[in-house]
Copies of this chain bind each other. A is one copy, B any other.
Amino acid sequence: MHSELIKDKEYQFQLYELLDTQALCGRERFSEHNKETFDAVLDTANKIATEKFAPHNAKADANEPTFDGEKVTMIAEVQEAFDAYVQAGLLAGRYDFDEGGMQLPETIMMASAGYFMAANPSTTGYPFLTVAAANVIRNFASDKIKSSFMPRMLSGEFTGTMALTEPHAGSSLADILTTAIKTSDGEYRIKGNKMYISAGDHELSKNIVHLVLAKVQGAPAGVKGISLFVVPKYRLDNHGQPSERNDVALAGLIHKLGYRGTTSTVLNFGEQGDCHGYLVGEEHQGLRYMFLMMNEARLGVGFGAAMIGYRAYQYSLVYAKDRTQGRIPPNNKPTDKAVSIIHHGDVKRMLLAQKSYVEGAMALCFYAARLVDDSHTLEDEAQRQHALELLDLLTPIVKAWPSEYGPKANDLAIQILGGAGYTREYPVEQCWRDNRLNPIHEGTNGIQALDLLTRKLWQAQGAGLKLLQQRMQQDFSQIQGPACQSLLKRLHPYIAQMAQLIPALAQGLANDKQPILLANASCFMNVFGQIVMSWMWIRQANVAEQAIHQTDLSGDDQAFYRGKIQAAKYFVHWELPTIARDLSLLSELDDSCAAMHSEWF
């Protein structure tokens, strides 16, 4: 029905008008780049995603991988797509030139990833997990492990996974039971079961490099006793080639609701007592290493949720312009011509809500990606540290907000299509199913809410929060247009209420009100999320309101900017005020949930 995965103008706006991504080229690490090289990367990503990923998105969903007890089989298009991704050099996009990389900023890597997530999230899982695993090895593993695995992962010969969850331990990693016993040669023998391991088995690569959390004998209890190991599916011979099968067995595939093309696996390590693992970094430091990967993965989950949302939004938009149904007063006689459904107010509402969710989420994710770049490449160390502090604070909502509102957007896309939306003959229901994974994986949104309320808010003496307030203040002080002024006036009281609430939260968390606040953690995440997203929307509307006065604006651009201003208005008028409830519940210390007894259900 339409071929463009992501509107060019949207990305140009997000990357170069809203964020001055081109300014990154002034930094030493990116000095060989310019807007043209960035755009060339995006063009390549768009082309491969459009030609190699999008066409088999539905097919991979309808024909999920199977396991015959020996091998995993999947449709051939996945391999072709993976190979095309590898050949474009995208796996090593963020690495140094002398590592064979392209030394690209995170912001551009994320934008490139957007095309793949919009096109086919499940096939995209294979390369993305590989990059994530390679990052951990690059940052924390010994030179020996690095040289054995990293080049082959970046060339796509080997793929990667992160093997954290166990059947009895998901959110609670403190309770993992997988063990690692040190051998005389400095290796370890791994034994345990892992579950829900994405891309945990397949035939796309010559080897699969599992990053496995396990406990060394005698380790302290809890998360402080977790170590991280590289555990390949095939052990390497003296030439670094995959040779003997390591003792890692696929116990079975799990059948998911969405992302059906990405294998989800149950893996048994060391059933025969001969699973070789190689320690990453130091013993007992595994969770810290894994959290680097996890934090990146959380940005990726948020952004992916936004892009799956964006894809169905675009589809429902084209559908709404095309499909005629009913009439609008005063021309609502049966003999009047039927109108496209986009002219019905309630359909506009559903489109505007989607737009505000997915483009807002996109702006937030790019903002976070820029913080990653800033934390790596700003000249001043204190500035780099600030970027990291702000990023830390925002990470829970960068993960949770898009993964809550992306699926909401998909739900509205289905509703716009009506009966068609509900059928597998149309693509939006798959988006909705695929996106349902995102509120759960890489830490459920409930966990994100607790992380925000009990940790991130107070981290480094609340440095992140202060920075956030400064950044918002700075942006707001530059606002001149009347549309944005008016939105700002609506936002201010909520910001003030949140600020007022914070000391009370600190107090409550330290006294006997703690159980109530923990039960109401989602309320604070709502408050924080809607305020940050209002900021993101006012930022967009401000750029649009300035741009709209340019004299040489094309009609399309004019309409684009008007849409941004209207979506900001929608968000601030319709979505922001929902937090009045949350602010009350938090300030009243409402105990409706905390006081519920399990036997009363």
Chain A positions near chain B (C-beta within 8 angstroms): 165, 168-172, 174-175, 195-196, 220-224, 254-258, 264, 317, 321, 324-329, 333-335, 338, 340, 342-352, 355, 411, 414-415, 418-419, 421-425, 429, 432-433, 436-437, 439-441, 444-446, 449-450, 514-516, 518-522, 559-560, 562-563, 566, 569-570, 573-574, 577-578, 580-581, 584-585, 590, 592-601
Contact = CB atoms under 8 A, between A and B. Distances in A.
Contact of A573 (B171, B174, B585, B597): B585
Contact of A346 (B352, B424, B449): B449
Contact of A566 (B258, B437, B444, B592): B592
Identical chains bound together, number = 2
Contacts of A256: 422-424
A577 B581 contact: yes
Contact of A345 (B174, B343, B519, B570): B519
Given A171-B325, A560-B600, 5 more contacts: A175-B325, A256-B424, A349-B520, A415-B440, A577-B584
Chain A binding surface, main DSSP class: helix
Contacts of A590: 573-574
Question: Could you say which of A342, A436, A577, A596 has the most chain B C-beta atoms within 10 Å of its C-beta?
Answer: A596
Given A598-B342, A600-B559, A334 B223 contact: yes
A601 B351 contact: yes
A223 B333 CA distance: 10
A514 B566 CA distance: 20
A419 B439 CA distance: 10
Contacts of A326: 171-172, 174
A333 B222 CA distance: 8
B349 A522 contact: yes
Contacts of A445: 415
Contacts of A325: 168-172, 175
Contacts of A421: 440
Contact of A257 (B348, B429, B592): B429
Contact of A518 (B346, B432, B444, B600): B346
B593 A570 contact: yes
Given A521-B345, A521-B346, A566 B596 contact: yes
A264 B414 CA distance: 17
A419 B196 contact: yes
Contact of A352 (B165, B329, B343, B592): B592
A182 B573 CA distance: 56
A570 B340 CA distance: 41
Contacts of A425: 254-255
B419 A165 contact: yes
A252 to B, nearest CB: 10
Nearest to A564: B600
Contact of A578 (B348, B422, B578, B592): B578
The 5 lowest CB-CB distance pairs between A and B, nearest first, are: A345-B519, A222-B334, A563-B600, A221-B334, A349-B593
A537 B124 CA distance: 46
A324 B419 contact: no
Nearest to A174: B334
A577 B585 CA distance: 10
Contacts of A329: 514-515, 518
